[in-house]
């Protein structure tokens, strides 16, 4: 798939997820088969750009691949300024968030709340596209609620105002993450516009990825929650789409290697104590299949020292390998 001048290595993308798709996670997913990893959502409010959270989210130092940065807000002028600021900071693609369903985002009229106001959507898209010389992409949901699915209308606004590609999470804002993704709506949106469309929602296996691509006609797929604790899902999907064969699950030794790499990178990226805290959720996701009663995760979550986390995990994997 191509986005402006950029040809992606494949048609697999990492969905931007607040508090998750930081630089360590993006780099890991890229190494394990993702063609593009979009950054965490950044506020268009310049007052927060110098906070530790925003500075971490803007950190792309040494990052491989195409740097795509997602911005969120409701004011066209501020969104344009945020786009310019991030391009000056190394962003090669600007992604506009109109898909986040979180209350704290929507109460500011940002994220998926914007889908209620197509005229404002158009103003924001125009402002951002005109403000920068890099491709601008857009992430949406199918609408505000099941009675107001206006994804096709928003897609057409995006296309006529220069959006380079459109990612669609197959749920309305009201649906949050409940129920099943609406692939029929994504299919209808794809049929209505000529720009590349990316399908997102409930894609958790190579077989499901192919099914969604075949049914919707989408140009690419975007994976979010299914990659938590399983970043090798991109490698598995890529192999299946290319060969039709199912790739063997990673050996325990490789899971250990990937997790330990991720853990150390989180410690280095965030420092202490934040690195230790953020590592807990990732380790929990990785170990769900191995620590089914949650006993080890409870022990791990009580640790507040980086070295203790590393040593405890090493011992845990040694025990698993011996059994």
Catalytic-labelled residue, pool 32, 100, 220, 222: 100
Tell me the average pLDDT of the chain.
93
Q: Indicate the angle between helix axes 183-192 and 206-216, nearest 10 degrees.
A: 40
At residue 103, the pLDDT reads 84
CA–CA separation, 106 and 116 (whole Å) = 11
Q: Residues 88-97: pLDDT tens digits?
A: 989 999 999 9
Q: What is the largest CA-CA distance in the chain?
A: 62
Q: Residues 151-172: pLDDT tens digits?
A: 999 999 999 999 999 999 999 9
Residue 206 marked in a binding site = no
Host H or E run for residue 202: none
Residue 289 marked in a binding site = no
At residue 104, the pLDDT reads 82
Residue 226 marked in a binding site = no
At residue 49, the pLDDT reads 67
**286 pLDDT above the threshold of 90:** yes
At residue 57, the pLDDT reads 65
Residue 202 marked in a binding site = yes
From first CA to last CA, the distance across the chain in angstroms is 44
| More confident: 55 or 123 | 123
29 is catalytic: no
**Are residues 173 and 140 in contact, defined by beta-carbon separation less than 8 angstroms?**
no
| More confident: 293 or 266 | 266
Angle at 126 between CA 120 and CA 129, to 5 degrees: 135
Burial of 247 (0-12, 13-18, 19+ CB in 10 A): middle
pTM of the model: 0.93
**Are residues 216 and 193 in contact, defined by beta-carbon separation less than 8 angstroms?**
no
Residue 201 marked in a binding site = yes
At residue 291, the pLDDT reads 86
């Amino acid at each position: 798939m191509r986005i402006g001048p950029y040809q992606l290595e494949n048609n697999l993308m990492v969905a931007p997820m607040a508090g998750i798709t930081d630089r360590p996670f993006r780099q890991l997913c890229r190494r394990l088969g993702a063609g593009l990893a979009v950054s965490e959502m950044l506020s268009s409010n310049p007052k927060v750009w110098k906070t530790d959270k925003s500075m971490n989210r803007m950190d792309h130092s040494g990052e491989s691949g195409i740097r795509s940065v997602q911005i969120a807000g409701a004011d066209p002028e501020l969104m344009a300024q945020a786009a310019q600021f991030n391009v000056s900071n190394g962003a090669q693609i600007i992604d506009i968030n109109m898909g986040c369903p979180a209350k704290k985002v929507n109460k500011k009229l940002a994220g998926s709340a914007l889908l209620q106001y197509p005229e404002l959507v158009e103003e924001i898209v125009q402002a951002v596209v005109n403000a920068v010389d890099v491709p601008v992409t857009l992430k949406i949901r199918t609408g505000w609620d099941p009675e107001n699915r206006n994804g096709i209308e928003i897609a057409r606004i995006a296309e006529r105002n220069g959006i380079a590609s459109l990612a669609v999470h197959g749920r309305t804002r009201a649906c949050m993450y409940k129920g099943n993704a609406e692939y029929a709506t994504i299919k209808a949106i794809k049929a209505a516009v000529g720009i590349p469309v990316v399908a997102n929602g409930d894609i958790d296996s190579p077989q499901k990825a192919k099914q969604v691509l075949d049914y919707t006609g989408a140009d690419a797929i975007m994976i979010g929650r299914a990659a938590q604790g399983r970043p090798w899902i991109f490698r598995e999907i890529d192999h299946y789409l290319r060969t039709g064969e199912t790739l063997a699950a990673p050996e325990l030794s490789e899971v250990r290697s990937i997790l330990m790499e991720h853990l150390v990178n989180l410690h280095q990226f965030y420092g202490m104590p934040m690195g230790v805290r953020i590592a807990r959720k990732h380790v929990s996701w990785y170990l769900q299949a191995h620590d089914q009663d949650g006993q080890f995760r409870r022990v791990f979550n009580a640790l507040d020292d980086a070295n203790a986390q590393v040593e405890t995990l090493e011992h845990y994997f040694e025990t698993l390998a011996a059994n």
